[in-house]
Structure 1
Amino acid sequence: MNEEQKMSSIKRQNLIMKLLRDAEEPITGSEFAKQTNVSRQVIVQDVSILKAKKEPIMATSQGYVLLDKQKSQGLLERIVVCKHTPEQTQEELNIFVDHGVKVKDVIVEHAVYGDLTASVMVSNRAEAKRFIERIQETNAVYLSSLTNGIHLHTLEADTQEKLDAACDALKKAGILVE
């Protein structure tokens, strides 16, 4: 990489950080690519470099966010164990969000790698629908397919009652593992 390319990369990375700090919603790699006139792959590389420099960037199903902006004051978290088929994923997500609960991630235990955690960050039906559509569009497999449907979710809500109600609804749907 020559000096001019290095400066261009640094400017682009600074712009990415500025846009993320100012953003109200996640920003996709494609959106960054359009704004900086480079490929999405260049953006992925820039974000990887920023993460290596300890910038608190997280890739979610909706795009990139700063972890600092995602830290929630006064919210409660709970980890739950679920088991269902891939076809029931939409139902599971809808149960959570319909009860005012945000699904932060999905965790599965891999025989070789140990715990694998992926960001979900779904808090309403529109985000849940987009998440499912992205899985279908990319022909991706759900992490739970590695574990016969068993997986964990880290949940977040502003009251214990919302978490309890969501868990009760999951129990009734036969999705919650106790």
Structure 2
Amino acid sequence: MTETEVYMAADDRRQMLLAKLGDASSPLSGGRLAKELGVSRQIIVGDVAVLRASGHDIVSTARGYVLAKASDAAGAATPASGTTRASENEAGGARSVAHDGRPTRVVKVHHSVEQTSDELFTILENGGTVVDVFVWHRVYGRLEARLGIRTRKDALRFINDIESGKSSPLLTVTSGYHYHTIAADSEATLDRIERALDSKGYLAPLLPDERA
């Protein structure tokens, strides 16, 4: 097989990988993608890295890879290589997009792994839902996981998964800094949640390039 044929085979495989992610209704694991495409998991990891470098918004979650939809990506531009810049909507400002008919807001927070449960309970006890968590990594760009934590039971299940070693919280790759999309019944409730997080020292200040 010539070098050109190898390249074309890899390119075709990556297009198939994109198609599978685009058609999927839930995250696809690297192992599953490797099996379906007839390659090793390491090759899938490499393909994902190449596709991300080409501008495709592939998100890594605890359950596998997700291809962000165009509507999701519109308000979430990937920062330039070597930076950790987030757009205004991702850096703490209120968002106009509703979640299940409710207003949402992205907050930037900072805390230790051990304080994760208290942070989540603080949001829940003040009337919020933790929709997701994401970080900006200097090499990999935006890394995101959907959480959907609505109740204390949801939070305890998530914490148990972390403590049991099933997965590691994203904040570990960015020295504790991360973002949450929070949904609530009103902007006033979102304001109360931010005040509660701030009073505990969890709310992180925005960097100059994260401000509008």
State the one-letter code of the partner of 1:79: V
Q: How does 1:27-106 map to 2 (within 5 A)?
A: 27-68=28-69, 71=72, 74-75=97-98, 76-83=104-111, 85-93=112-120, 96=123, 99-106=128-135
Q: Which residue of 1 aligns with 2:11?
A: 10
Decide whether the 8 Å contact of 2:194 with 2:203 is kept in 1. Answer: no
Deviation per residue, 1:29-82 (Å, 9 max, x gap): 122112122111100111112122222222233321122267188233322334
Decide whether the 8 Å contact of 1:101 with 1:163 is kept in 2. Answer: no
Please say which of residues 91-100 and 59-68 is displaced more in the overlay.
Answer: 91-100
- Number of residues of Structure 1 aligned to a counterpart in Structure 2: 166
TM-score (norm 2): 0.57
Alpha-carbon offset, residue 166 of structure 1: 4.3
**Structure 1 residues 119, 164: CA separation in 2 closer, same or farther (over 3 Å shift)?**
same
% identity of equivalent residues: 26
Deviation per residue, 1:154-177 (Å, 9 max, x gap): 4242643553464466468x4634
State the one-letter code of the partner of 1:74: V
State the one-letter code of the partner of 1:103: D
Q: Which has the higher contact order (CA 8 A, sep 6+)?
A: 1
Alpha-carbon offset, residue 18 of structure 1: 1.0
Q: Which has the higher helix share?
A: 1
TM-score (norm 1): 0.66
Q: Which residue of 1 aligns with 2:147?
A: 122
1:165 and 1:58 map into 2 onto residues whose CA distance is 30
2:117 and 2:71 map into 1 onto residues whose CA distance is 23
Decide whether the 8 Å contact of 2:171 with 2:178 is kept in 1. Answer: no
Decide whether the 8 Å contact of 1:58 with 1:66 is kept in 2. Answer: yes
State the one-letter code of the partner of 1:155: T
Decide whether the 8 Å contact of 1:33 with 1:43 is kept in 2. Answer: yes
Q: How does 1:142-153 map to 2 (within 5 A)?
A: 142-143=171-172, 146=175, 151-153=177-179
Decide whether the 8 Å contact of 2:131 with 2:147 is kept in 1. Answer: yes
Q: Which residue of 1 aligns with 2:181?
A: 155
1:162 and 1:121 map into 2 onto residues whose CA distance is 21
